Amino acid sequence: MNKLVVLGSVNADHVLQVASFPRPGETLLGHSYAVIPGGKGANQAVAAARLGADIAFIACVGDDSFGANMITEFGRDGINTQAVMVEQDTPTGIAMIQVAATGENSICISAEANACLTPERLAPHSKLIEQADTLLMQLETPIATITQAAKIANQAGTRVVLNPAPAQPLSDELLAVVDLITPNETEAELLTGIKVTDMASAQVAANALHAKGISEVMITLGSQGVWISKAGTGKQVKGFRVDAVDTTAAGDTFNGGLLAGLQAGLVLDDAIRFAHAAAAISVTRVGAQTSIPTKAEVDAFLA
């Protein structure tokens, strides 16, 4: 059995570079088309594995070549894929991403096989969750399943970590069984109604999340690092200064790195520093899973 279980999405990111975004009815020439492995669940699973965690992944892929390749790649990264299910007659989840010359993104996502991760599909894998130390989830798979998995974990004494991305409202029923939540500023605002503009407002937002029953809150602040709050007392842990090229999967790398660091026995501040280093390296590289470093690279960065 694996100490960390990640439950979440797998996406093929179809990325096209464009001079500017096409208007309705317009056809433009793009260039440098690439299909890059993505999906917040897969990104976090890969990050945790590359950064040293003992991990199993619960997910659904389609019965296409991308899905089959991903299962092979997850295995190469050392992930237990026994609960990565292949859905018949269904494509793997996709994101259609246009990147303009300005660096701006325009993204359209379709859940496809990710929508098949229903509570029924989860049921045969509940033992993986019950026997793990920690369950890590995001919000690109059905919320009913996320809520079910969180309850299974909660009853078994498995710690529930939720990265509430992409931003969407969540039920009190789900939040009540979350032990650690890791929103970015936008997600924290959507969940609490409090705009996070500085450290004081970060603590106010954290307090609103504590009031929902969540004992530990970590609000990621991009290049500013994170605001961590436990029992109403918070502090900032700064990140590393790097030349950012592409911040895709920064949050995913942070989440995977944090849990890998904690699993390795680091105290919280050191685990955050390890996660910051991993995420800082990832923003200097292009793409989602293509940008996630290994533990050896992070150790060298911190040396």
Q: Residue 5: is it exposed, middle or buried by C-beta count within 10 angstroms (0-12/13-18/19+)?
A: buried
Kindly state the smallest distance separating residue 186's Cβ from ligand ADP, in Å: 7
Per CB under 6 A, the list member of 108, 244, 267, 300 interacting with ligand ADP is 244
Is 279 one of the binding residues for ligand ADP (CB under 6 A)? yes
Residue among 38, 239, 256, 287 that touches ligand ADP (CB under 6 A)? 239
Among 21, 66, 240, 301, binds ligand ADP (CB under 6 A): 240
Tell me the catalytic residues: 252
Stretch that binds ligand ADP, among 13-21, 41-49, 227-235, 249-257 (CB under 6 A): 249-257
- Give the x-and-dash track for 254-273 against ligand ADP (CB under 6 A): x-------------------
* Candidates 79-87, 113-121, 170-178, 241-249; binding stretch for ligand ADP (CB under 6 A): 241-249
The answer to whether 191 and 214 are in contact (CB under 8 A) is no
CB closer to ligand ADP, 152 vs 283: 283
119 upstream amide cis, omega within 30 of 0: no
Q: Which among 10-18, 130-138, 203-211, 279-287 is the span making contact with ligand ADP, rule CB under 6 A?
A: 279-287
The CA distance from 108 to 130, in Å, is 35
- How many whole angstroms separate alpha carbon 276 and alpha carbon 258? 8
Min CB(62)–ligand ADP separation in Å: 26
Strand order in the sheet with 226-230: 84-87, 55-62, 4-7, 134-137, 159-162, 180-181, 216-220, 226-230, 233-237
CB of 282 to ligand ADP, least distance (A): 7
Residues 6+ apart with CB under 8 A from 270: 261
Q: Which two tokens stand for residue 224?
A: 């500013």
Tell me, residue by residue from 146 to 165, as one string, x for binding to ligand ADP by CB under 6 A and - for no binding.
-------------------x
Residue with smaller CB distance to ligand ADP, 100 or 244: 244
Number of residues interacting with ligand ADP: please give it, by CB under 6 A: 20
Query: Dihedral, CA atoms, 59, 136, 93, 168, nearest 10 degrees?
Result: 140
Counting contacts by CB under 6 A, is residue 220 touching ligand ADP? yes
Edge-first strand order for the sheet with 30-38 is 30-38, 11-18, 93-100, 105-110
Q: Is 37 or 67 the residue whose CB approaches ligand ADP more closely?
A: 37
Beta-bridge partners for 105: 99
Position of minimal CB gap to ligand ADP? 251
Write the single-letter amino acid at 59.
A
Of the candidates 264, 274, 251, the one whose C-alpha atom is nearest the C-alpha of residue 165 is 251
Site for ligand ADP (CB under 6 A): which residue of 115, 204, 242, 266?
242
Q: Does residue 67 contact residue 92 with C-beta atoms inside 8 Å?
A: yes
* Among positions 17, 105, 207, 223, the unique one binding ligand ADP when judged by CB under 6 A: 223
Contacts of 212 (CB under 8 A, 6+ apart): 172, 175, 176
What residue ranges bind ligand ADP (CB under 6 A)? 165, 184, 220-223, 225-226, 239-240, 242, 244, 247, 250-251, 254, 276, 279-280, 283
